[in-house]
Structure 1
């Protein structure tokens, strides 16, 4: 097989492939002949010379597809190219039974990491307090709560109220600021500012205004620091009656007594806090490594991620981002891609892999299935590849943290 690979830039290689046309032409003609339809001829019985004349473009496209499919994967494997996306055909030449195809291939850029060990980060301390455990117990108790109507009295903190509301900035109603029959637990701090406090003291059927200010760091840029008025109708008030936090509550959750439940809560809170601390630490370290590395985010990935992020923004805020917001989104996308490429490079340098035993154990623990049953199911290769990727990232996180603290 004759081919040549040239590096165009840090994101692109060009592959020139040469080969025999006739080998693939015969296959293409046979395939087209089976499906081609032409007045005066039965399907599958069109003479070859007429077929080549009337369906020349179709045959030519099939020849090209077969030629590339036959040669391209072998070249990629032989040259160990880290391909990002499908190649683009930039030139085709056919002459005297031979074909020459030039492909532009997007590849992962080379990454130069100066240092990724011994950066001297400090892991933050944490502890699980009695208040943390009490809050968790209160949450569990609330799950077993019963409600009764309190429409005959004023709303109080702790009540579950049903409200209709519409939000206005000045005289203009703003998107996403309205709802009907919304269930709100007063005191849950689900709403901004003193929204919930201003409902306290009102009775069923009251219609009133709530005046609040959005925080300066609010996610929606157009509402940051804005003063808003909500027109509210209080439709129902319910009193929430939570059970006592005692052994009976613990037994309803499957534990022997309250002390056993507290021990379990402490264990789970510790595990969760450890994950949060490690995740923040890992992100800080990777950000530092990426900032000190020579790494270029590929254009094709930037545009792909930008499309996804802009769609998510529009879906969430019901509008397109302004120029400043779009710039911030793009900046974050580029930073995330650079960090991804740095992580990918460290995985390769340290030869971090997920073993088959680890994959099997993960499937058994998290999905209560046997590996053999998963392999025999549809789309198993993608599912297993995702598990392997997640296990490798988990290993990478542990490696990065242990080598930089």
Structure 2
């Protein structure tokens, strides 16, 4: 095989590839074996006719096209490797220059390439500090959240329901005098103030007691997912069986021992302080990296091939519609609902947003990959081993067992994961920390 890079401009490479007579002969033989079952030749069982007999009957070039298909993948890969190209789509054969048993085959292909570009400035970009010291209030807030998680629901008699209480209710919904689908429930636990029901529903149960019955009058939102109910006035006949209030656990050593690995509340608080610090700093680092990458993207000009945008757009749209379907709504129905709202967005408008998001994501990926290439971080065996332990722990495995099933793809993923972490640390270290904006009193 030989190949010539004819030209390389506007992210497109034109390559002329020559398949030797010897390699083409092997491809012809493979094409014959794959396709001989398609031919009926008198005097031979189907699929048993020799190649020369089929070629005599149908012409010397009967297997040429299939032979090219056989030879193309390996010859293409060799050419790409030889010229150190990074294709971003499947190549297209634009010209068959020559083909014969004696001379082999020569053809020309075009392939779109990953764009070449110069990075914009990526050092000295302004960010807010990524350091954080957890305060006593942070710890107190977290303790309250944990207490809420571990609260017990206690049935209260002759007590008015308030926000935060859980009421056990039966309800029947009507539009006019007609009941509607999904408007009936029995022994339903509803947390007042959770906003899980139609706006205004929960507010009208505040102040009610167990054993009471009441009518709840509400209007379905205009954007309600069931189009036949959207904007309609309705009444729910509600019976309150029970009111349950939260009982929070006492903040003491027993509580700490019950919900953590620590014996005392003070030890648990100290652990919370460290955890809060780590979580907040991770969030701050994430925000800083987003700021830096967005700024580098603004400073970098890239002529992105259309095929990369198209492919990413399909992914963005598919992911969006998958999320819609997980909410129980058909995407077409969702687009219709959005069209009827004030903004009037139709599916075409959403498609334009998907393209915009795809352009952003592709450019960001290219910039990140270029940064990794330019800075060229090394990964030591010790760093890999440490990360193997982290991954094994995440999957509740022993590191030895994790490494036994470690394939090349996972190993490469972990190595790139470490490199990207090093890149992010590098970008933050080389950024310029600016003062926090203080609110005016």
TM-score by length of 1: 0.79
Whole-Å separation in 2 of the counterparts to 1:274 and 1:69: 48
Which of the numbers 49, 52, 59 marks the counterpart of 1:46? 49
Find out whether 1:377 has 2:405 as its counterpart: yes
Which of the numbers 377, 387, 393 marks the counterpart of 1:352? 377
Find out whether 1:311 has 2:311 as its counterpart: no
Alignment of 1:74-153 (within 5 A): 74-97=78-101, 98-123=104-129, 126-149=132-155
Aligned residues: 386
Alignment of 1:246-257 (within 5 A): 246-252=252-258, 253-257=260-264
Give yes or no for contact 1:10–1:110 (8 Å, CA) kept in 2. Answer: no
Give yes or no for contact 1:210–1:231 (8 Å, CA) kept in 2. Answer: yes
State the 1:273 CA deviation. 0.7
Q: RMSD of the alignment, in Å?
A: 4.0
Q: Map Cα deviations across residues 217-263 of structure 1 (whole Å, 9 max, x no partner).
A: x9x9xxxxx99978665776433333222211111122111111111
Whole-Å separation in 1 of the counterparts to 2:402 and 2:125: 41
Which of the numbers 372, 393, 396 marks the counterpart of 2:420? 393
Pair 326,69 (structure 1): closer, same or farther in 2 beyond 3 Å: closer
Pair 255,328 (structure 1): closer, same or farther in 2 beyond 3 Å: same
Alignment of 1:250-329 (within 5 A): 250-252=256-258, 253-317=260-324, 318=329, 319-320=334-335, 322=346, 323-329=348-354
Which runs of 5 or more residues in structure 1 are unaligned? 168-176, 221-225
- Specify the alignment match of 1:170 in structure 2: none
Q: Map Cα deviations across residues 182-201 of structure 1 (whole Å, 9 max, x no partner).
A: 76543457789877545422
Pair 207,371 (structure 1): closer, same or farther in 2 beyond 3 Å: same
Give yes or no for contact 2:204–2:216 (8 Å, CA) kept in 1. Answer: no
- Max Rg structure: 2
- Specify the alignment match of 1:25 in structure 2: 28
Give yes or no for contact 1:203–1:234 (8 Å, CA) kept in 2. Answer: no
Which of the numbers 238, 248, 260 marks the counterpart of 2:244? 238
Whole-Å separation in 1 of the counterparts to 2:124 and 2:183: 52
- Specify the alignment match of 1:156 in structure 2: 162
Deviates further, 3-12 or 254-263: 3-12
Question: Does the residue aligned with 1:121 lie in a helix, a strand or coil?
Answer: strand
TM-score by length of 2: 0.73
- Specify the alignment match of 1:12 in structure 2: 12
